[in-house]
Amino acid sequence: MGLWRKIRGVGPVAEPPPPRPDGDRPAVAAELGGSVQLRHVDAGSCNGCEVELGSAFGPVYDAERYGARLVASPRHADALLVTGPVTRNMQEPLRRTYDAVPAPKLVVAVGDCARNCGVFAGAYGVAGAVRDVVPVDLEVAGCPPRPEAIVEALRTVTGR
């Protein structure tokens, strides 16, 4: 009981958030209000980007406190978070997932592979970068990108 009283007395303790990023906000982001629901699509990643995405939504970087939330269905999403180069097998699923997201919508390409195929450029199974298959509104550089960079990009979308 002593510990419980102490926890209640102290309340939640968190690091102060970093300053709001001053990057250009995609035009469509203004229509989404202050939050964005994201469907993640792994289009052929090595999973390095997924590890960092996991961190970005974990308790340390906590992207949800800025209004970004992962959802299970593209029909519930405002945006796609796409990782990896787009493999031949994932071209059509990515296109269909994009079509399933209701407008207004946007696409965030996460990692160098999503931006320009990265280390997989020219590989026989790679169809192209994400922008070769669906329109891209925002890119996050890095192989893999740091969780801070992912959260910064998502804050650019939510404006928080």
Residues that bind ligand SF4 (CB under 6 A): 45-46, 48-49, 83-84, 111-113, 118-119, 143-144
Q: Please, what is the minimum distance in Å from the beta carbon of residue 34 to ligand SF4?
A: 28
Count CB-CB contacts under 10 A for residue 99: 10
Residue 39 vs 115, nearer CB to ligand SF4: 115
Q: Which residue is nearest to ligand SF4 (CB)?
A: 48
φ, ψ dihedrals at 24, nearest 5°: -65, 130
From 120, 46, 119, select the one nearest 83 (Cα to Cα): 46
Residue 30 vs 143, nearer CB to ligand SF4: 143
Q: Please, what is the minimum distance in Å from the beta carbon of residue 112 to ligand SF4?
A: 4
Distance CA 71, CA 39 (A): 5
Q: Please, what is the minimum distance in Å from the beta carbon of residue 25 to ligand SF4?
A: 24
Q: Please, what is the minimum distance in Å from the beta carbon of residue 19 to ligand SF4?
A: 26
Q: Please, what is the minimum distance in Å from the beta carbon of residue 111 to ligand SF4?
A: 3
From 74, 85, 131, 142, select the one nearest 108 (Cα to Cα): 131
Residue 42 vs 78, nearer CB to ligand SF4: 42
Element spanning 119, H or E = none
SS3 assignment, position 10: helix
Residue 78 vs 112, nearer CB to ligand SF4: 112
Contacts (Cβ under 8 Å, ≥6 apart) of 78: 32, 36, 37, 38, 101, 104, 105, 106
Residue 26 vs 111, nearer CB to ligand SF4: 111
